[in-house]
Amino acid sequence: MMVVDDAVVARSMMARWIESEPDMMIAASLRTGREALDTVAVHDPDVVLLDVDMPELDGIAALPLLLAKKRDLVVIMVSTLTRRSAELSLKALALGATDYIPKPETTYEAMTSAAFRRELIDKVRGLGRKRLLLREGAPSLAPEEAPAPVPALRRAPPPAVKSLPELKSLPELKPHRPAEKSEITLRSFGLTMPRALLIGSSTGGPQALTVLFEKLTAAVDRAPVLITQHMPPTFTTVLAEHLRRVSGRGAHEAEDGEPVLAGGIYLAPGGCHMRVVRDGDIVKIALGDDPPINFCRPSVDPLFSSAAAVWGSAVLAVVLTGMGSDGTQGAADIVAAGGSIIAQDEATSVVWGMPRAVAQAGLCSAVLPLDQIPGKILRLLVGSRS
């Protein structure tokens, strides 16, 4: 483990937190990106905590150079809760960083923030162990510690469906059948054509959402798209702007009380849970600052559960990469109402925590590689259940 931060107090604090964990060790604690680049081969870390703003060589400039020297290096960017830092953090993800951690703006706030310490330790542990598993082919860890092997999938043959003209332009999906012995039982897709698309994501989510929205065609305009991504304020503002550019549609941070319309893309603002409520014939956004759920605000569960109550069997939800199990209870509510769940598979997830939880709970109708999810969504939105 390598910590790179020009602020000596912050650097020492993060190093001390990591050293206090029995399964982690600090290989180096450095002041600049230049020092990290010059010594990464010597220290050979599995994970680097890399500050965005540093003298000589900042984190954004150092990142691609570090990855060029060590391709499988896990780099977690550390930045403050400012718009500039949010923009740089998302840029770093596009350049190959694995994840980011927003830190409080003052040293005192950082030192006293239990949430910041917990997030830092969890991400270093989870991402570092996944890297070791991939490199060494070691047996999987317990569910709360790291992802498990991708289970094989079982399902009854789907009923035949009539071909639709709109499906001809969509790519054929190949069945995803990993070879491991353990199994996940898949449910049949619901009988109702989806009228709302929900997405929950966390670690690795911004990268996954980018891939998703680059491939979704105009068929997605048949339904509103509501997204909960675990992110703090300001970061969600920048992510919404990014998704607007990528999708070519009106992606934006949701506003309390606004109507939910087909073709709209609504992102839960950082620091607020996002739910949907019915007001007569209109469905509206309801934002709340009630306590975190699953240590998160926004949390995926409130969105999923409220959507199940509003749209019932006409809900299609996708659980993308992320740590923990947020979204599982909400997914259960969707399935109970007759809706359907798709989960991202382990091989394409940065962390297979959230999608694993819903899959192992028997709630999924498909577990797919990321690049196959857009096509599947589009097929369902035009009436295919295959």
Secondary structure letter of residue 148 according to DSSP: P
Domain holding 102, by residue range, is: 2-136
Give residue 180's pLDDT.
44
Kindly state whether residue 156 falls inside one of the protein's structural domains. Answer: no
* Nearest by Cα to 225 from 238, 206, 244: 244
Question: What domain count does the chain have?
Answer: 2
Position 144 scores a pLDDT of 40
Query: Could you give the CA distance from residue 121 to residue 118 in angstroms, rounded to a whole number?
Result: 5
Among the candidates 86, 101, 136, a domain finishes at 136
Position 139 scores a pLDDT of 46
Domain assignment present for residue 147? The answer is no
Give a yes or no: residue 316 inside a domain: yes
Residues 190, 54: one domain? no
**Per-residue 3-state assignment (H helix, E strand, C coil) for 173-216:** CCCCCCCCCCEEECCCCCCCCCCEEEEEECCCHHHHHHHHHHHC
Which of 118, 136, 154 is the C-terminal boundary of a domain?
136
10-residue averages of pLDDT along the chain (386 residues): 93 94 94 95 94 92 95 93 90 94 86 91 88 58 39 41 36 41 82 96 96 91 96 95 94 98 97 97 97 96 98 98 96 98 96 96 98 96 80
Amino acid 164: pLDDT: 35
What is the amino acid identity at position 135? Answer: R
Active-site positions read 202, 230, 326
Q: Report yes or no on 150 lying in a domain.
A: no
Give the pair of three-digit tokens for residue 106.
């003052």
Rounded CA-CA distance 331/190 in Å is 13
Exposure of 183 by Cβ count < 10 A (0-12 exposed, 13-18 middle, 19+ buried)?
A: exposed
Same domain, 271 and 179: yes
Please indicate, yes or no, whether residues 113 and 186 belong to a single structural domain of this protein: no
- The CATH number linked to 359 is 3.40.50.180
Do residues 17 and 123 both lie within one domain? yes
Rounded distance between C-alpha atoms, residue 23 and residue 132, angstroms: 13
Assess whether 169 and 117 both reside in one domain.
no
pTM, entire model: 0.85
The secondary structure of residue 233, as a DSSP letter, is T
Predicted local confidence at residue 133, as pLDDT = 64
